[in-house]
Chains A and B, each alone.
Chain A
Amino acid sequence: MTETIPVMLWSATPDGAIDYCNGRFLEYTGLDAEQLMGRGAFTKVLHPDDLDRTVQAWLSCIRTGAAFQAEVRKFHAADTAYRWCMVNARPLLDEHGRILKWYGTVVDMHDWRQAQEELRHTQEKLAYMMRVTTMGELTASIAHEVNQPLSGIMTNAGTCLRMLAADPPDVAGACETARRTIRDAHRASDVIARLRALFTGKELTTESMDLNDATREVIALSISDLQRHRVMLRTELADDLPLITANRVQLQQVILNLLRNASDAMAGVDDGRRQLLIRTARDDGDRVRLTVQDVGVGLEAHVMDKLFQAFYTTKSSGMGIGLSVSRSIIEKHGGRLWAEPNDGPGATFAFSIPRVPERTADAAGAVRNS
Protein backbone atom coordinates (compact mmCIF):
# COMPACT_ATOMS: atom_id res chain seq x y z
CA MET A 1 0.00 0.00 0.00
CA THR A 2 2.79 2.40 0.88
CA GLU A 3 4.01 2.03 -2.69
CA THR A 4 0.66 2.79 -4.31
CA ILE A 5 -0.45 5.85 -2.31
CA PRO A 6 0.31 8.98 -4.38
CA VAL A 7 2.22 10.66 -1.55
CA MET A 8 5.85 10.51 -0.45
CA LEU A 9 6.02 8.43 2.71
CA TRP A 10 8.78 7.77 5.16
CA SER A 11 9.39 6.46 8.62
CA ALA A 12 12.12 6.94 11.21
CA THR A 13 13.37 5.36 14.39
CA PRO A 14 12.54 7.04 17.73
CA ASP A 15 15.86 8.92 17.62
CA GLY A 16 15.08 10.34 14.18
CA ALA A 17 17.09 8.10 11.86
CA ILE A 18 15.19 7.45 8.62
CA ASP A 19 14.58 3.74 8.11
CA TYR A 20 12.14 3.73 5.27
CA CYS A 21 11.27 5.84 2.18
CA ASN A 22 8.66 4.76 -0.35
CA GLY A 23 9.31 4.62 -4.07
CA ARG A 24 7.77 8.02 -4.74
CA PHE A 25 10.13 9.61 -2.23
CA LEU A 26 13.17 8.01 -3.89
CA GLU A 27 11.94 8.87 -7.35
CA TYR A 28 11.34 12.50 -6.34
CA THR A 29 14.79 12.99 -4.83
CA GLY A 30 16.63 10.88 -7.38
CA LEU A 31 18.55 9.15 -4.55
CA ASP A 32 18.53 5.48 -3.65
CA ALA A 33 17.36 4.12 -0.32
CA GLU A 34 20.87 3.72 1.13
CA GLN A 35 21.65 7.39 0.57
CA LEU A 36 18.52 8.47 2.42
CA MET A 37 18.69 6.13 5.39
CA GLY A 38 20.12 6.97 8.76
CA ARG A 39 20.33 9.89 11.14
CA GLY A 40 20.51 13.29 9.49
CA ALA A 41 20.42 11.73 6.02
CA PHE A 42 17.36 13.72 4.96
CA THR A 43 19.39 16.92 5.20
CA LYS A 44 20.96 15.87 1.88
CA VAL A 45 17.78 16.76 0.01
CA LEU A 46 17.04 20.04 1.78
CA HIS A 47 17.84 23.51 0.55
CA PRO A 48 20.84 24.82 2.57
CA ASP A 49 18.84 27.85 3.73
CA ASP A 50 16.17 25.63 5.26
CA LEU A 51 18.59 23.29 6.97
CA ASP A 52 19.12 24.86 10.38
CA ARG A 53 15.53 25.58 11.28
CA THR A 54 14.36 22.19 10.01
CA VAL A 55 16.97 20.26 11.99
CA GLN A 56 16.23 22.30 15.12
CA ALA A 57 12.50 21.64 14.78
CA TRP A 58 13.01 17.92 14.10
CA LEU A 59 15.36 17.48 17.09
CA SER A 60 12.90 19.24 19.32
CA CYS A 61 10.09 16.93 18.17
CA ILE A 62 12.26 13.87 18.81
CA ARG A 63 12.83 15.13 22.36
CA THR A 64 9.23 15.98 23.12
CA GLY A 65 7.28 13.60 20.90
CA ALA A 66 5.36 16.50 19.38
CA ALA A 67 4.07 16.29 15.80
CA PHE A 68 6.55 17.63 13.27
CA GLN A 69 5.59 20.00 10.50
CA ALA A 70 7.82 22.09 8.24
CA GLU A 71 7.64 23.91 4.96
CA VAL A 72 10.96 23.24 3.25
CA ARG A 73 12.55 23.39 -0.16
CA LYS A 74 13.34 19.87 -1.23
CA PHE A 75 15.50 18.77 -4.11
CA HIS A 76 13.48 17.53 -7.05
CA ALA A 77 15.49 15.31 -9.35
CA ALA A 78 13.25 15.56 -12.41
CA ASP A 79 13.92 19.28 -12.91
CA THR A 80 17.12 19.44 -10.81
CA ALA A 81 15.66 22.25 -8.72
CA TYR A 82 14.37 22.79 -5.21
CA ARG A 83 10.61 22.81 -4.77
CA TRP A 84 8.54 23.79 -1.77
CA CYS A 85 7.20 20.82 0.16
CA MET A 86 5.20 20.32 3.32
CA VAL A 87 6.76 17.69 5.56
CA ASN A 88 4.65 16.14 8.31
CA ALA A 89 5.49 13.45 10.85
CA ARG A 90 3.71 11.95 13.83
CA PRO A 91 5.11 9.57 16.44
CA LEU A 92 3.62 6.20 17.15
CA LEU A 93 3.59 5.91 20.96
CA ASP A 94 3.44 2.90 23.25
CA GLU A 95 1.12 2.72 26.25
CA HIS A 96 3.69 4.64 28.37
CA GLY A 97 3.91 7.47 25.86
CA ARG A 98 7.32 6.42 24.61
CA ILE A 99 8.04 6.92 20.91
CA LEU A 100 8.14 3.65 19.00
CA LYS A 101 8.45 5.07 15.52
CA TRP A 102 7.92 8.15 13.40
CA TYR A 103 5.67 8.08 10.35
CA GLY A 104 5.88 10.92 7.91
CA THR A 105 4.64 12.34 4.61
CA VAL A 106 6.04 14.84 2.14
CA VAL A 107 3.69 16.81 -0.10
CA ASP A 108 4.91 18.92 -2.99
CA MET A 109 3.10 22.24 -2.65
CA HIS A 110 5.34 24.26 -4.91
CA ASP A 111 2.67 25.20 -7.45
CA TRP A 112 0.19 26.10 -4.73
CA ARG A 113 2.78 28.19 -2.98
CA GLN A 114 3.71 29.96 -6.19
CA ALA A 115 0.06 30.77 -6.79
CA GLN A 116 -0.01 32.24 -3.29
CA GLU A 117 3.07 34.32 -4.03
CA GLU A 118 1.49 35.56 -7.19
CA LEU A 119 -1.66 36.45 -5.31
CA ARG A 120 0.35 38.38 -2.75
CA HIS A 121 2.25 40.10 -5.52
CA THR A 122 -0.99 41.09 -7.22
CA GLN A 123 -2.35 42.40 -3.96
CA GLU A 124 0.75 44.49 -3.46
CA LYS A 125 0.43 45.86 -6.95
CA LEU A 126 -3.21 46.69 -6.29
CA ALA A 127 -2.36 48.44 -3.06
CA TYR A 128 0.29 50.42 -4.91
CA MET A 129 -2.19 51.35 -7.63
CA MET A 130 -4.61 52.56 -4.99
CA ARG A 131 -1.91 54.66 -3.37
CA VAL A 132 -1.04 56.13 -6.74
CA THR A 133 -4.70 56.87 -7.39
CA THR A 134 -5.01 58.62 -4.08
CA MET A 135 -1.84 60.53 -4.88
CA GLY A 136 -3.39 61.52 -8.20
CA GLU A 137 -6.41 62.88 -6.41
CA LEU A 138 -4.17 64.60 -3.94
CA THR A 139 -2.24 66.14 -6.81
CA ALA A 140 -5.50 67.52 -8.17
CA SER A 141 -6.26 69.15 -4.86
CA ILE A 142 -2.73 70.51 -4.54
CA ALA A 143 -3.06 71.93 -8.05
CA HIS A 144 -6.26 73.61 -6.95
CA GLU A 145 -4.68 75.11 -3.84
CA VAL A 146 -1.76 76.47 -5.83
CA ASN A 147 -3.72 77.59 -8.88
CA GLN A 148 -5.92 79.90 -6.81
CA PRO A 149 -3.12 82.21 -5.65
CA LEU A 150 -1.34 81.82 -9.01
CA SER A 151 -4.46 83.13 -10.65
CA GLY A 152 -4.39 86.17 -8.37
CA ILE A 153 -0.69 86.69 -9.13
CA MET A 154 -1.23 86.57 -12.86
CA THR A 155 -4.23 88.88 -12.86
CA ASN A 156 -2.62 91.37 -10.50
CA ALA A 157 0.65 91.43 -12.44
CA GLY A 158 -1.22 91.89 -15.73
CA THR A 159 -3.27 94.71 -14.25
CA CYS A 160 -0.15 96.26 -12.80
CA LEU A 161 1.54 96.37 -16.22
CA ARG A 162 -1.52 97.85 -17.85
CA MET A 163 -1.84 100.51 -15.15
CA LEU A 164 1.79 101.51 -15.61
CA ALA A 165 1.48 101.54 -19.40
CA ALA A 166 -1.60 103.78 -19.28
CA ASP A 167 -1.33 107.44 -20.12
CA PRO A 168 -1.04 108.86 -17.55
CA PRO A 169 0.21 105.83 -15.57
CA ASP A 170 -1.87 104.85 -12.54
CA VAL A 171 1.01 104.45 -10.12
CA ALA A 172 -1.10 104.16 -6.98
CA GLY A 173 -3.21 101.44 -8.60
CA ALA A 174 -0.10 99.64 -9.84
CA CYS A 175 1.41 99.70 -6.35
CA GLU A 176 -1.73 98.18 -4.91
CA THR A 177 -1.80 95.36 -7.49
CA ALA A 178 1.93 94.73 -6.96
CA ARG A 179 1.29 94.42 -3.22
CA ARG A 180 -1.48 91.94 -3.88
CA THR A 181 0.82 90.00 -6.20
CA ILE A 182 3.31 89.58 -3.38
CA ARG A 183 0.60 88.56 -0.94
CA ASP A 184 -0.73 85.90 -3.30
CA ALA A 185 2.78 84.63 -3.92
CA HIS A 186 3.14 84.19 -0.17
CA ARG A 187 -0.12 82.36 -0.13
CA ALA A 188 1.11 79.97 -2.81
CA SER A 189 4.38 79.32 -1.04
CA ASP A 190 2.50 78.74 2.23
CA VAL A 191 0.57 75.97 0.53
CA ILE A 192 3.78 74.36 -0.64
CA ALA A 193 5.47 74.77 2.73
CA ARG A 194 2.56 73.13 4.51
CA LEU A 195 2.45 70.26 2.09
CA ARG A 196 6.17 69.77 2.44
CA ALA A 197 5.88 69.78 6.20
CA LEU A 198 3.17 67.21 5.88
CA PHE A 199 5.00 64.80 3.65
CA THR A 200 8.61 65.05 4.68
CA GLY A 201 9.63 62.42 7.15
CA LYS A 202 7.77 59.17 6.85
CA GLU A 203 8.17 58.51 10.53
CA LEU A 204 5.60 60.09 12.74
CA THR A 205 7.35 62.41 15.14
CA THR A 206 5.28 62.66 18.26
CA GLU A 207 5.18 64.46 21.55
CA SER A 208 3.11 64.22 24.65
CA MET A 209 0.29 66.68 24.19
CA ASP A 210 -3.09 67.80 25.42
CA LEU A 211 -5.73 67.50 22.70
CA ASN A 212 -7.81 70.20 24.42
CA ASP A 213 -4.91 72.67 24.33
CA ALA A 214 -4.21 71.87 20.69
CA THR A 215 -7.89 72.37 19.91
CA ARG A 216 -7.99 75.70 21.76
CA GLU A 217 -4.99 76.87 19.74
CA VAL A 218 -6.72 76.01 16.49
CA ILE A 219 -9.84 77.82 17.66
CA ALA A 220 -7.78 80.89 18.59
CA LEU A 221 -6.23 80.83 15.12
CA SER A 222 -9.54 80.57 13.34
CA ILE A 223 -11.80 82.63 15.58
CA SER A 224 -11.67 85.76 13.43
CA ASP A 225 -12.35 83.67 10.36
CA LEU A 226 -15.32 82.02 12.07
CA GLN A 227 -16.64 85.37 13.25
CA ARG A 228 -16.37 86.81 9.78
CA HIS A 229 -18.47 83.90 8.54
CA ARG A 230 -20.93 84.53 11.41
CA VAL A 231 -20.32 81.09 12.82
CA MET A 232 -21.25 80.63 16.46
CA LEU A 233 -18.80 78.27 18.06
CA ARG A 234 -19.54 76.17 21.09
CA THR A 235 -16.94 73.97 22.76
CA GLU A 236 -17.38 71.00 25.07
CA LEU A 237 -13.86 69.94 25.94
CA ALA A 238 -13.69 67.01 28.33
CA ASP A 239 -12.13 67.68 31.74
CA ASP A 240 -10.77 64.19 32.14
CA LEU A 241 -8.92 63.93 28.84
CA PRO A 242 -5.60 62.09 29.20
CA LEU A 243 -2.43 63.39 27.57
CA ILE A 244 -1.83 61.77 24.19
CA THR A 245 1.28 60.96 22.18
CA ALA A 246 0.82 62.48 18.75
CA ASN A 247 2.12 64.89 16.16
CA ARG A 248 0.68 68.18 17.38
CA VAL A 249 1.00 70.12 14.12
CA GLN A 250 -0.55 67.37 12.04
CA LEU A 251 -3.48 66.92 14.41
CA GLN A 252 -4.01 70.67 14.40
CA GLN A 253 -4.08 70.63 10.62
CA VAL A 254 -6.81 68.03 10.76
CA ILE A 255 -8.81 70.00 13.34
CA LEU A 256 -8.41 73.20 11.33
CA ASN A 257 -9.50 71.40 8.21
CA LEU A 258 -12.61 70.04 9.93
CA LEU A 259 -13.43 73.50 11.29
CA ARG A 260 -13.10 75.12 7.88
CA ASN A 261 -15.12 72.44 6.18
CA ALA A 262 -17.86 72.87 8.77
CA SER A 263 -17.78 76.64 8.34
CA ASP A 264 -17.91 76.30 4.54
CA ALA A 265 -20.77 73.82 4.78
CA MET A 266 -22.82 76.45 6.62
CA ALA A 267 -22.23 79.25 4.10
CA GLY A 268 -25.78 78.81 2.82
CA VAL A 269 -27.37 78.74 6.29
CA ASP A 270 -29.10 81.88 7.56
CA ASP A 271 -27.03 84.24 9.68
CA GLY A 272 -27.56 83.54 13.34
CA ARG A 273 -28.09 79.84 12.80
CA ARG A 274 -24.57 78.82 11.85
CA GLN A 275 -23.73 76.78 14.89
CA LEU A 276 -20.58 74.78 15.27
CA LEU A 277 -19.88 72.43 18.13
CA ILE A 278 -16.43 71.08 18.94
CA ARG A 279 -16.31 68.34 21.49
CA THR A 280 -13.52 66.23 22.93
CA ALA A 281 -14.04 63.07 24.92
CA ARG A 282 -12.41 59.93 26.17
CA ASP A 283 -13.17 57.04 23.89
CA ASP A 284 -13.34 53.31 24.52
CA GLY A 285 -10.07 51.37 24.41
CA ASP A 286 -7.70 54.05 25.73
CA ARG A 287 -8.53 56.45 22.94
CA VAL A 288 -9.54 60.09 22.66
CA ARG A 289 -12.10 61.50 20.29
CA LEU A 290 -12.71 64.89 18.75
CA THR A 291 -16.03 65.74 17.14
CA VAL A 292 -16.95 68.69 14.93
CA GLN A 293 -20.66 69.12 14.40
CA ASP A 294 -22.20 71.63 12.02
CA VAL A 295 -25.70 72.52 10.88
CA GLY A 296 -24.73 73.00 7.25
CA VAL A 297 -25.68 71.36 4.00
CA GLY A 298 -25.14 67.91 5.47
CA LEU A 299 -24.05 64.77 3.67
CA GLU A 300 -25.95 62.92 1.03
CA ALA A 301 -25.60 59.17 1.04
CA HIS A 302 -23.83 59.06 -2.31
CA VAL A 303 -21.06 61.44 -1.30
CA MET A 304 -20.17 59.54 1.87
CA ASP A 305 -17.85 57.17 0.00
CA LYS A 306 -16.09 59.82 -2.04
CA LEU A 307 -15.72 62.23 0.83
CA PHE A 308 -12.30 61.05 1.91
CA GLN A 309 -10.93 60.09 -1.46
CA ALA A 310 -10.60 63.58 -2.78
CA PHE A 311 -11.96 66.94 -1.87
CA TYR A 312 -12.36 68.74 -5.10
CA THR A 313 -16.07 69.09 -4.52
CA THR A 314 -15.57 71.37 -1.56
CA LYS A 315 -13.51 74.42 -2.01
CA SER A 316 -11.44 75.69 0.84
CA SER A 317 -9.58 78.90 0.56
CA GLY A 318 -6.11 79.21 2.00
CA MET A 319 -4.40 76.17 3.33
CA GLY A 320 -7.26 73.72 3.49
CA ILE A 321 -5.66 70.46 2.56
CA GLY A 322 -8.65 68.27 2.38
CA LEU A 323 -10.17 65.29 4.01
CA SER A 324 -8.01 62.79 2.17
CA VAL A 325 -4.90 64.20 3.81
CA SER A 326 -6.68 64.52 7.15
CA ARG A 327 -7.62 60.90 7.05
CA SER A 328 -4.09 59.79 6.22
CA ILE A 329 -2.80 61.82 9.16
CA ILE A 330 -5.29 60.22 11.51
CA GLU A 331 -4.52 56.77 10.14
CA LYS A 332 -0.83 57.41 10.63
CA HIS A 333 -1.73 57.91 14.28
CA GLY A 334 -3.46 54.53 14.30
CA GLY A 335 -6.84 56.22 14.44
CA ARG A 336 -9.98 56.63 12.42
CA LEU A 337 -11.64 59.67 10.81
CA TRP A 338 -15.24 59.47 9.77
CA ALA A 339 -18.30 61.50 8.90
CA GLU A 340 -21.98 61.00 9.55
CA PRO A 341 -25.10 62.97 8.79
CA ASN A 342 -26.84 64.48 11.82
CA ASP A 343 -30.38 63.59 12.85
CA GLY A 344 -31.15 67.23 12.28
CA PRO A 345 -29.48 69.46 9.69
CA GLY A 346 -25.76 69.25 9.04
CA ALA A 347 -23.03 66.71 9.51
CA THR A 348 -20.63 65.49 12.16
CA PHE A 349 -16.99 64.74 11.49
CA ALA A 350 -14.97 62.97 14.11
CA PHE A 351 -11.69 61.28 14.70
CA SER A 352 -10.68 58.85 17.35
CA ILE A 353 -7.04 58.04 18.02
CA PRO A 354 -5.29 55.80 20.52
CA ARG A 355 -3.71 57.65 23.41
CA VAL A 356 -0.39 56.23 22.25
CA PRO A 357 -0.11 55.08 18.65
CA GLU A 358 1.22 51.52 18.46
CA ARG A 359 3.92 52.14 15.90
CA THR A 360 5.28 55.11 17.81
CA ALA A 361 5.46 53.06 20.97
CA ASP A 362 7.57 50.53 19.02
CA ALA A 363 9.77 53.24 17.60
CA ALA A 364 10.31 54.71 21.04
CA GLY A 365 11.20 51.27 22.33
CA ALA A 366 13.66 50.77 19.49
CA VAL A 367 15.34 54.07 20.32
CA ARG A 368 15.64 53.16 23.98
CA ASN A 369 17.12 49.78 23.12
CA SER A 370 19.65 51.10 20.63
Chain B
Amino acid sequence: MVQRSLVSVVDDDQSVRESLPDLLRHFGFAVQAFSSAEAFLASEFVSLTKCLILDVALVGMSGPDLQRELIRRRQAIPTVFITAHGDTSVRSRLLALGATECLFKPFSDDALLDALTKALGTRSTCEP
Protein backbone atom coordinates (compact mmCIF):
# COMPACT_ATOMS: atom_id res chain seq x y z
CA MET B 1 0.00 0.00 0.00
CA VAL B 2 1.62 3.22 -1.15
CA GLN B 3 -0.60 5.71 0.65
CA ARG B 4 -4.08 5.87 2.01
CA SER B 5 -5.96 8.22 -0.32
CA LEU B 6 -8.93 9.89 1.33
CA VAL B 7 -12.31 9.00 -0.15
CA SER B 8 -15.26 11.01 1.13
CA VAL B 9 -18.77 9.57 1.03
CA VAL B 10 -21.73 11.96 0.99
CA ASP B 11 -25.08 10.21 1.32
CA ASP B 12 -28.09 10.91 3.51
CA ASP B 13 -28.88 7.21 3.74
CA GLN B 14 -27.55 5.75 6.94
CA SER B 15 -26.96 2.23 5.65
CA VAL B 16 -24.80 3.61 2.86
CA ARG B 17 -22.81 5.70 5.35
CA GLU B 18 -22.26 2.58 7.45
CA SER B 19 -21.53 0.03 4.77
CA LEU B 20 -19.48 1.94 2.20
CA PRO B 21 -16.73 3.14 4.58
CA ASP B 22 -16.02 -0.42 5.75
CA LEU B 23 -15.66 -1.60 2.18
CA LEU B 24 -13.54 1.39 1.21
CA ARG B 25 -11.28 0.92 4.22
CA HIS B 26 -10.98 -2.70 3.22
CA PHE B 27 -9.88 -1.52 -0.24
CA GLY B 28 -7.18 0.43 1.57
CA PHE B 29 -8.60 3.93 1.47
CA ALA B 30 -9.00 6.41 4.27
CA VAL B 31 -12.69 7.34 4.55
CA GLN B 32 -14.87 10.16 5.80
CA ALA B 33 -18.67 9.97 5.59
CA PHE B 34 -21.09 12.90 5.54
CA SER B 35 -24.88 13.00 5.63
CA SER B 36 -25.20 16.16 3.56
CA ALA B 37 -23.36 18.27 1.00
CA GLU B 38 -23.41 21.16 3.46
CA ALA B 39 -21.72 19.08 6.13
CA PHE B 40 -18.99 18.06 3.70
CA LEU B 41 -18.39 21.64 2.56
CA ALA B 42 -18.14 22.78 6.17
CA SER B 43 -15.61 20.08 7.00
CA GLU B 44 -11.80 20.27 6.91
CA PHE B 45 -11.67 17.36 4.45
CA VAL B 46 -12.65 19.13 1.21
CA SER B 47 -9.10 19.87 0.13
CA LEU B 48 -7.83 16.49 1.38
CA THR B 49 -10.38 14.38 -0.47
CA LYS B 50 -8.96 12.55 -3.50
CA CYS B 51 -12.26 11.09 -4.60
CA LEU B 52 -15.85 11.89 -3.77
CA ILE B 53 -18.58 9.25 -3.68
CA LEU B 54 -21.63 11.41 -3.95
CA ASP B 55 -25.31 10.60 -3.77
CA VAL B 56 -27.37 12.43 -6.41
CA ALA B 57 -30.63 13.15 -4.57
CA LEU B 58 -29.45 14.58 -1.29
CA VAL B 59 -31.80 16.50 0.96
CA GLY B 60 -30.81 20.14 0.79
CA MET B 61 -27.95 20.74 -1.61
CA SER B 62 -28.03 17.98 -4.22
CA GLY B 63 -25.04 15.97 -5.42
CA PRO B 64 -24.74 17.80 -8.75
CA ASP B 65 -25.08 21.12 -6.88
CA LEU B 66 -22.16 20.16 -4.67
CA GLN B 67 -20.08 19.22 -7.70
CA ARG B 68 -20.81 22.60 -9.29
CA GLU B 69 -20.00 24.41 -6.08
CA LEU B 70 -16.63 22.64 -5.84
CA ILE B 71 -15.84 23.58 -9.45
CA ARG B 72 -16.83 27.17 -8.68
CA ARG B 73 -14.44 27.16 -5.73
CA ARG B 74 -11.72 25.67 -7.95
CA GLN B 75 -11.67 22.66 -5.68
CA ALA B 76 -13.00 20.12 -8.18
CA ILE B 77 -12.67 16.54 -6.90
CA PRO B 78 -12.96 13.40 -9.06
CA THR B 79 -16.51 12.29 -8.37
CA VAL B 80 -18.33 8.98 -8.51
CA PHE B 81 -22.07 9.57 -8.29
CA ILE B 82 -24.33 6.96 -6.75
CA THR B 83 -28.09 7.00 -7.12
CA ALA B 84 -31.11 4.91 -6.21
CA HIS B 85 -32.99 6.41 -9.17
CA GLY B 86 -31.47 4.27 -11.86
CA ASP B 87 -31.97 6.30 -15.00
CA THR B 88 -29.59 6.24 -17.95
CA SER B 89 -30.42 9.81 -18.95
CA VAL B 90 -29.34 11.02 -15.51
CA ARG B 91 -26.13 9.04 -15.88
CA SER B 92 -25.15 10.50 -19.25
CA ARG B 93 -25.98 14.01 -18.02
CA LEU B 94 -23.77 13.58 -14.96
CA LEU B 95 -20.92 12.13 -17.01
CA ALA B 96 -21.23 15.05 -19.41
CA LEU B 97 -20.85 17.39 -16.43
CA GLY B 98 -17.53 15.81 -15.62
CA ALA B 99 -18.34 12.96 -13.26
CA THR B 100 -16.00 10.01 -13.45
CA GLU B 101 -18.77 7.47 -13.09
CA CYS B 102 -22.36 7.13 -12.03
CA LEU B 103 -23.34 3.91 -10.29
CA PHE B 104 -26.92 2.78 -9.81
CA LYS B 105 -27.75 1.45 -6.36
CA PRO B 106 -27.36 -1.39 -5.70
CA PHE B 107 -23.87 -1.67 -7.21
CA SER B 108 -21.23 -4.36 -6.78
CA ASP B 109 -17.99 -3.83 -4.90
CA ASP B 110 -16.10 -4.56 -8.12
CA ALA B 111 -17.97 -1.84 -9.98
CA LEU B 112 -17.16 0.55 -7.16
CA LEU B 113 -13.50 -0.36 -7.20
CA ASP B 114 -13.34 0.11 -10.99
CA ALA B 115 -14.91 3.54 -10.65
CA LEU B 116 -12.52 4.54 -7.87
CA THR B 117 -9.54 3.35 -9.87
CA LYS B 118 -10.72 5.45 -12.80
CA ALA B 119 -11.34 8.44 -10.54
CA LEU B 120 -7.93 8.30 -8.95
CA GLY B 121 -6.31 7.85 -12.34
CA THR B 122 -4.10 5.05 -11.12
CA ARG B 123 -4.23 1.33 -11.17
CA SER B 124 -5.35 0.48 -7.73
CA THR B 125 -2.57 -0.50 -5.42
CA CYS B 126 -5.02 -1.55 -2.82
CA GLU B 127 -6.70 -4.55 -4.42
CA PRO B 128 -6.45 -7.19 -1.76
Digit string of A8-36 for contact with B (CB within 8 Å is 1, else 0)?
A: 00000000000000000000000000000
B128 near A166 with CB under 8 A, answer: yes
Residues of A within 8 A of B (CB): 140, 143-144, 147-156, 158-159, 162-163, 165-166, 173, 176-177, 180, 183-184, 187, 264, 267-268, 297, 312-315, 317
Residue of A nearest to B84 (CB): A147
- CA A145 – CA B18 in complex, angstroms? 17
Contacts of A158 in B (CB 8 A): 23, 108-109
B109 near A317 with CB under 8 A, answer: no
Residue of A nearest to B103 (CB): A151
Within 8 A of A (CB), among B69-128: 82, 84-86, 104-109, 112, 128
A148 near B19 with CB under 8 A, answer: no
Residues of B within 8 A of A (CB): 12-16, 18-20, 22-23, 26, 36, 38, 57-61, 82, 84-86, 104-109, 112, 128
- CA A148 – CA B84 in complex, angstroms? 6
A148 near B15 with CB under 8 A, answer: yes
A151 near B84 with CB under 8 A, answer: yes
The distance from the CB of B8 to the nearest CB of chain A, in whole angstroms, is: 16
B106 near A153 with CB under 8 A, answer: yes
- CA A190 – CA B83 in complex, angstroms? 21
- CA A48 – CA B26 in complex, angstroms? 82
- CA A264 – CA B13 in complex, angstroms? 12
Residue with the highest number of chain B CB atoms closer than 10 Å, among A147, A156, A158, A267: A158
A264 near B59 with CB under 8 A, answer: yes
B106 near A154 with CB under 8 A, answer: yes
Contacts of B59 in A (CB 8 A): 264, 267-268, 314-315
B16 near A143 with CB under 8 A, answer: no
> Contacts A184-B15, A268-B38, A317-B14: A151 and B22 contacting too (C-beta < 8 A)?
no
Residue with the highest number of chain B CB atoms closer than 10 Å, among A155, A177, A184: A155
The 4 lowest CB-CB distance pairs between A and B, nearest first, are A152-B15, A158-B109, A151-B105, A147-B84
- CA A166 – CA B82 in complex, angstroms? 27
- CA A163 – CA B105 in complex, angstroms? 22
